[in-house]
Structure 1
């Protein structure tokens, strides 16, 4: 397995308000600053309520974080839920924050000043995503059923909206976003159970900075057949996709048929129109768009479901997973639940085990990708999986009030508790009654795509019960931070002797 396969251990858990704090703020989002070179003490931002807090990770005996700056929104009723990092022209770090107010605020971390405010959404903003290609491009998802892409370039300050994605995209609140590493593709998920893929033009284009931003009416891919409830987290894993929905207690890994980011996207004219009517005998019956289901893809075909990861007790929505995926290191998936537990999967370990155990997953020889993405993400169009396109597993009616639910047990307040002993870290394993083959299938084997793979490692934050809302990795992979209800922050570390050198070839 090697050093790169080492999974994190709980170092500390804390409430920023201190052990006597009565603050019940839910931290909904955490993001590490992505522009710090690996090895430098990483900085992260957390947001929730009316607060956004900037912290630095430090390896000290009695402390693991240093609070650098605290922003308090002037609106005391603010309910912030999303944070992203950007960078000013002079290199100053910027944080973008959003929540129940339709506005998105951009703050300068170095000076503490409000840089600008983005206005254009008609309702609350639920997620933000910065382009991995440039810190000048920001995407947002809203209760107004739209996805917007903004230019943060100061020359576009008067007209920052660059792209509007709406129309035949989402019919209900949009909850989640995820950029492809190329910046050309953007995933969105929402309360209509849809996962959409939008093709984003190269920005700035001729409309950027004008009062007529580029309009995208149709996503290149759209499906209501992957999930049965609110889709609240979507991420690209190379050209594959990871996503989850409330009430399903699992994370899915899947692929869009024929999608290959190395090829130019199909033209918009190839996007199938959504179904609008059905026939009963010779009489057409027209249906509202919200009642039609299915999968539409400009690449032809549908999608292939590949793996399913077990995430028990994660029925609420706004419980989001984290993904560490850097060249030369094992890609690690991490998720939390409503019972103070975190689950870690080494995706490279899964791929290597599957390549050995299941001949259906073996790939032909191919050259390494220039960007060193994990080999499971490359050559997907040539992968002879033989899996049929999957239909919906059923239907579920979601109750929006579940957003307000939280863990039933109130926490024991603590300033910072250093995690020691064996009680907080446990490696998941199936029951002893299972055969060795069944155990291996549950932890490392790749087989039935409807058979959940349990975590390689499970960690429980002791003495407290809280819902884990979001997780984030430092760029070097040595730190992982989880945040959630009751003001809780949990700090995980690995490689305390230093970040190991990247391995050569494909990670």
Structure 2
């Protein structure tokens, strides 16, 4: 059985905790609002994979996936909408991806556990991937190979897929895997072999795919039926870390560090110390920083970054957004966004490429757009 690792305070010191007094270094104004109906909108995200579409984003809620363009005047222009034929479907998550020729794809999934691959050029479903035994809580795209995605599911597993060939390559489940729903998953930004998962068993797990990578390569050249591919189980993570005492519903890599969020009104930055050749559970972790988020005590609320991982935005159950300068030490709260119209829980945020636009999708079916206010030049 793999050893569970409990956190130590950062580098022999107490973790640095951010102040909730905004620095005011960037100011934002509500520019746009759009209602998508009565269903909650659970996910929203910009397309960072293709510079041509830097102001294009997508949302999902109910049985609908919608793409928009953020116009200079603050409006949100609908580009296309996909409506699932199953009226009972409820989409929880989406991710931008790309085919081998660079064609932009949108991947969405939710309650039914079916992964829909939407070709944004033809506006049609190109593939539907089936394998999970229950609903899918999150999808993430491998930034170095954007035809690879990973999914986190209520069936207590995460799965690695090749959406070009439709193959399920790896299943992260088994003896030392999650014991409850997997709520979030993320690829390491530059170590292509490494992922992190988290879930309702209160743990974050770090996994290595290094010894299984030949199967990833094989998935690109496979010519037989996808169902005949020799899918492999990955049962032992490098580390199982207990950083939180409740559900962990969002985890993201920040370089070699990890940010994770539970329902305890804070996001925690910590450092895992692992090696690919170690025995399972041999590593250690240090908690480095904490980012307070008041009224963020319900689960399934996801944070996001700009392209360069400078700003982190997270909503709360009161409709407020906290924007942190994520790489400052101690953390700096850049601003707190609120508006009398926005009172519903914010399920996810999206920060534009340069951080000048912040989006939020809400439990009440609304999406909101805040734009950075031009600051007057300082007098010399």
Query: Normalized against structure 2, the TM-score is what?
Result: 0.84
Aligned equivalent of 1:57, options 65, 70, 78: 70
The secondary structure found in structure 1 opposite 2:89 is coil
Residue 331 of structure 1 and its aligned partner are, at CA, apart by 0.7
What is the CA deviation profile of residues 320-359 of structure 1, one whole-angstrom value per residue up to 9, with x for unaligned ones?
1112251xxx7111111011111111134x23xxxxxxxx
Matches within 5 A, 1:399-414: none
Q: Which residue of 1 aligns with 2:300?
A: 318
Q: Which residue of 1 aligns with 2:168?
A: 161
Answer 1 or 2: which has greater strand percent: 2
The secondary structure found in structure 2 opposite 1:256 is strand
The CA distance in 2 between the partners of 1:203 and 1:323, in whole Å, is 32
The CA distance in 2 between the partners of 1:486 and 1:303, in whole Å, is 38
Q: Which residue of 1 aligns with 2:276?
A: 266
Matches within 5 A, 1:33-48: 33-37=47-51, 42-48=55-61
Task: Please tell me whether residue 26 in structure 1 is matched to residue 26 in structure 2.
Answer: no
Q: In the superposition, relative to structure 1, how do residues 8 and 82 fare at CA in structure 2: closer, same or farther (>3 Å)?
A: farther
Aligned equivalent of 1:346, options 300, 317, 325: 325
The secondary structure found in structure 1 opposite 2:268 is strand
The answer on whether the counterparts of 1:36 and 1:475 sit within 8 Å (CA) in structure 2 is no
Aligned equivalent of 2:345, options 449, 467, 486: 467
The answer on whether the counterparts of 1:148 and 1:163 sit within 8 Å (CA) in structure 2 is yes
Matches within 5 A, 1:341-420: 341-348=320-327, 350-351=328-329
What is the CA deviation profile of residues 195-254 of structure 1, one whole-angstrom value per residue up to 9, with x for unaligned ones?
00111234654653453113211011112x2011111000011111100112x0111011
The secondary structure found in structure 1 opposite 2:87 is coil
Q: CA RMSD in A?
A: 2.1
Aligned equivalent of 2:260, options 214, 225, 243: 243
Residue 177 of structure 1 and its aligned partner are, at CA, apart by 0.8
The answer on whether the counterparts of 1:13 and 1:461 sit within 8 Å (CA) in structure 2 is no
Q: Which residue of 1 aligns with 2:311?
A: 332
Aligned equivalent of 1:254, options 264, 270, 273: 270
The CA distance in 2 between the partners of 1:86 and 1:347, in whole Å, is 25
* Count of residues paired in the alignment: 341
Query: Normalized against structure 1, the TM-score is what?
Result: 0.64
Task: Please tell me whether residue 111 in structure 1 is matched to residue 119 in structure 2.
Answer: no
Where does structure 2 lack aligned partners over 5 or more consecutive residues? 1-23, 223-227, 376-380
Residue 54 of structure 1 and its aligned partner are, at CA, apart by 0.3
The CA distance in 2 between the partners of 1:74 and 1:68, in whole Å, is 20
Q: Which residue of 1 aligns with 2:355?
A: 477
Residue 462 of structure 1 and its aligned partner are, at CA, apart by 1.9
Q: In the superposition, relative to structure 1, how do residues 180 and 313 fare at CA in structure 2: closer, same or farther (>3 Å)?
A: same
Residue 111 of structure 1 and its aligned partner are, at CA, apart by 1.1
The answer on whether the counterparts of 2:47 and 2:54 sit within 8 Å (CA) in structure 1 is no
What is the CA deviation profile of residues 38-66 of structure 1, one whole-angstrom value per residue up to 9, with x for unaligned ones?
8x651000001111110001111xx4211
Which stretch shifts more, 308-317 or 7-16? Answer: 7-16
Residue 304 of structure 1 and its aligned partner are, at CA, apart by 0.7
What is the CA deviation profile of residues 147-168 of structure 1, one whole-angstrom value per residue up to 9, with x for unaligned ones?
1000122xx33xx011111111
Where does structure 1 lack aligned partners over 5 or more consecutive residues? 18-22, 260-264, 273-295, 352-445, 447-452, 498-507
Q: In the superposition, relative to structure 1, how do residues 108 and 347 fare at CA in structure 2: closer, same or farther (>3 Å)?
A: same
